[in-house]
């Protein structure tokens, strides 16, 4: 039986899950062995594997974990409607937009919030159910301008067909209009139109 080793040690979230997902997609049957060095990564990979209906055993080897995932020849393909973290997404036909109103994700430490938002945007590039558009307003416009750490990821999303739209009033307020590096400038009318016609995820 074919074995594929995924060494995800020292890889930040969501890389261990994404690397495991890609390895499983590349084989018809066999075993994927994923190595991770922390409990969070172990639990995330296990959750994803279970969401796919696959068998997984976990062994601790010194300071890391070995997850052995069996994909049999009668297994279904990796489901496109399951996000890399094992969270079930809506149907592929369910069009939606993402409204980003700040440059952090969630409440709490700003530094952690920036890391989480960067990871969120990156993970979007790895799922099939892409948003129709990402709308950046208020402090969120800082992510589409010069010096932002997620510029390349946002450019990749744009290349994948996601419209990237930044609020012109917000860019003006922060004096960033001449520093826009990805996407187009939009206005409140278009923002209201997009968010009232499609399901909206607010960040």
Please report, in tens digits, the pLDDT of each residue of the chain (203 residues total): 678 899 999 888 788 888 998 898 888 888 999 999 988 889 889 988 888 888 899 999 889 999 999 988 765 555 444 444 443 333 344 789 999 999 999 888 889 999 999 999 998 988 878 999 999 999 999 999 999 999 999 999 999 899 999 999 999 999 999 999 999 999 998 899 899 988 999 98
- CATH T-level assignment (fold) for domain 96-202: Hypothetical Protein Ychn; Chain: A, (3.40.1260)
Q: If we measure between CA atoms, which residue out of 25, 1, 159, 4 comes closest to residue 67?
A: 4
Extents of the domains making up the chain: 3-71, 96-202
pLDDT at 87: 39
Sheet of 64-71: strand order equals 3-7, 30-36, 64-71, 55-61
Q: How far apart are CA 106 and CA 114, in angstroms?
A: 9
Give CATH superfamily name and number for 3-71: TusA-like domain (3.30.110.40)
CA atoms within 13 A on the CB side of 99: 16
Q: How far apart are CA 28 and CA 177, in angstroms?
A: 49
pLDDT at 14: 80
């Amino acid at each position: 039986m074919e074995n594929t080793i995924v060494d995800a040690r020292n890889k930040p979230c969501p890389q261990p899950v994404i690397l495991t997902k890609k390895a499983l997609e590349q084989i018809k049957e066999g075993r994927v062995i994923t190595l991770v060095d922390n409990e969070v990564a172990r639990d995330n990979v296990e959750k994803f594997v279970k969401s796919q209906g696959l068998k997984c055993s976990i062994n601790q080897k010194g300071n890391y974990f070995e997850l052995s995932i069996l994909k049999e020849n009668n297994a279904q393909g990796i489901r496109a409607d399951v996000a890399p973290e094992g969270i079930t997404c809506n149907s592929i036909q369910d069009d939606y937009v993402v409204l980003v109103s700040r440059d952090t994700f969630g409440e709490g430490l700003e530094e952690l919030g920036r890391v989480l938002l960067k990871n969120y945007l990156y993970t979007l590039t790895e799922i099939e159910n892409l948003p129709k558009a990402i709308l950046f307003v208020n402090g969120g416009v800082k992510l589409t301008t010069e010096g932002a750490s997620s510029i390349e990821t946002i450019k990749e999303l744009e290349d994948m067909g996601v419209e990237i739209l930044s609020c012109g009033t917000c860019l003006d307020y922060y004096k960033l209009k001449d520093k826009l590096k990805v996407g187009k400038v939009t206005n409140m009318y278009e923002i209201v139109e997009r968010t009232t016609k499609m399901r909206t995820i607010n960040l």
